[in-house]
Structure 1
Amino acid sequence: MHELSIAQSLLAIIEDEMTKHGKEKLLTVKVRHGRLSAIVPEALETAFEVLTVDSRLAGSKLEMEETPVVLRCRACGREFSPEGDSAFAPCPGCGEELGHTVLSGRELYIEYLELE
């Protein structure tokens, strides 16, 4: 379960930001993750809860938002989102099946922190 190590990294970043800004309490952290990032939201939420128990971050809220996959066709340049979870994603414009550029969907970052 790589979500545990991801949660540990997120918490290290959060602690650094809290120290940098002189804040003592985390209310909310919003994490944006791409559909291709292989994150299981429930597993990350569980890891976050387990790692924050008995810490100054206990009781804070983890919000997650998934970014859809957006591809650019290598043949015609059209941007599109593939349907479903299929790895097979022909371009709806020209039918090209391979070599598309991934424009979004691999992200994993903290969008914002709400601190006191």
Structure 2
Amino acid sequence: MHEYSIVSALLEQCEQHAIDNQAKAISKVVVKIGVLSGVEPALLATAFETFKLEGRTRDAEFVIQHQGIVLQCQQCLCKTEVAERSVICPQCNSYDTRIIEGEEMLLMQLELETD
């Protein structure tokens, strides 16, 4: 289950941001997970709750924003979010598309508590 290693790296990143900003605690962690990222949101949330118990994140709320697939058509230049895992442009039906969002996992926001 690679979600555990992802959460471990995420918590290290959060701790480093807290240290850099002289925060005593982290109250909220917001991540954005793309549909095609290969990360299972429920497993990630469980892993976060399991591993957050040490350090500045022990009382942190974990929020997941889900990112759909956004395509850029190379033929008609249409930029569209598609509901299904399709790579066909809904405007011109071209297969000449590029995924520009939906494959990533990003740390979007941290709420830090300072003295």
- Specify the TM-score bucket, using the shorter chain as the normaliser: 0.7 to 0.9
Report the secondary structure of 2:87's partner residue: coil
Q: How does 1:14-93 map to 2 (within 5 A)?
A: 14-84=14-84, 86=85, 88-93=86-91
Q: Identity rate of aligned residues, in percent?
A: 29
C-alpha deviation, 1:54, in angstroms = 4.2
Distance 2:39 2:15 in 1: 22
Which amino acid in structure 2 is aligned with residue 111 of structure 1? M
The yes-or-no answer on 1:107 pairing with 2:107 is no
- TM-score, scaled to structure 2: 0.87
TM-superposition CA deviations, 1:26-66 (whole Å, max 9, x none)? 11011112121122111111111111224442121111101
Which amino acid in structure 2 is aligned with residue 92 of structure 1? P
Unaligned runs of 5+ in 1: none
Runs of 4+ residues deviating >6 angstroms: none
Question: What is the RMSD computed on CA atoms of the aligned residues?
Answer: 1.5
More strand by share: 2
Greater Cα shift, 68-77 or 24-33: 68-77
- TM-score, scaled to structure 1: 0.87
Could you say which residue in structure 2 is the equivalent of 1:94? 92
Cα gap change, 1:15 to 1:55, in 2 (>3 Å)? closer
Report the secondary structure of 2:88's partner residue: coil
Distance 1:7 1:54 in 2: 13
TM-superposition CA deviations, 1:13-32 (whole Å, max 9, x none)? 11101111111111101111
Could you say which residue in structure 1 is the equivalent of 2:8? 8
